[in-house]
């Protein structure tokens, strides 16, 4: 599986934007970029995913570099409820037994200050 690299931790103030980076220099042309987050004492939850173009949804935006070797998850206005571990994960689109697998790394611990 192609690897991702994320900072161990980041801090933000409430109501400010947060940019969470992810490096994936060995990404293949068929890998999707997925972001999940895990709130304290909960299971992970899906945030957003993309392939080549930038993506927006109600939770966040995903900015993907032109060469796809890095991406940034953007929380436009951080709230205290956004404090979580954020995971950047690559997932292939080819079939077979590994198609649906998500391999979680250590993620980025986001702390949001009031």
Binding site for another protein (CB under 8 A): 32, 36, 42-46, 49, 51, 87, 91, 93, 97-107
- Quote the CA–CA distance of 93 and 40 in Å, as a whole number: 30
Length of the chain: 114
- Quote the CA–CA distance of 42 and 40 in Å, as a whole number: 6
Q: In whole angstroms, how close is the CB of 103 to another protein at the nearest point?
A: 7
Q: In whole angstroms, how close is the CB of 53 to another protein at the nearest point?
A: 12
Considering only CA atoms, which of 107, 106, 89 is closest in space to residue 98? 89
Q: In whole angstroms, how close is the CB of 36 to another protein at the nearest point?
A: 8
- Quote the CA–CA distance of 21 and 4 in Å, as a whole number: 10
Q: In whole angstroms, how close is the CB of 3 to another protein at the nearest point?
A: 14
**Cβ closer to another protein: 21 or 44?**
44
Look at residue 82 and give its three-state secondary structure: helix
**Cβ closer to another protein: 51 or 65?**
51
**Cβ closer to another protein: 77 or 99?**
99
């Amino acid at each position: 599986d192609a690897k991702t690299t994320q900072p161990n931790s980041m801090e933000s103030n409430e109501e400010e934007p947060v940019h969470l980076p992810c490096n994936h220099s060995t990404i293949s042309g068929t890998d999707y970029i997925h972001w999940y987050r895990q709130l304290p004492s909960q299971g992970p939850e899906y945030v957003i995913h993309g392939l080549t173009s930038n993506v927006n949804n109600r939770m966040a935006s995903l900015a993907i570099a032109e060469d796809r070797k890095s991406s940034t998850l953007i929380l436009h206005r951080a709230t205290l409820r956004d404090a979580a571990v954020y995971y950047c994960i690559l997932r292939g689109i080819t079939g077979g037994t590994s198609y649906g697998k998500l391999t979680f790394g250590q993620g980025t611990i986001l702390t949001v200050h009031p």
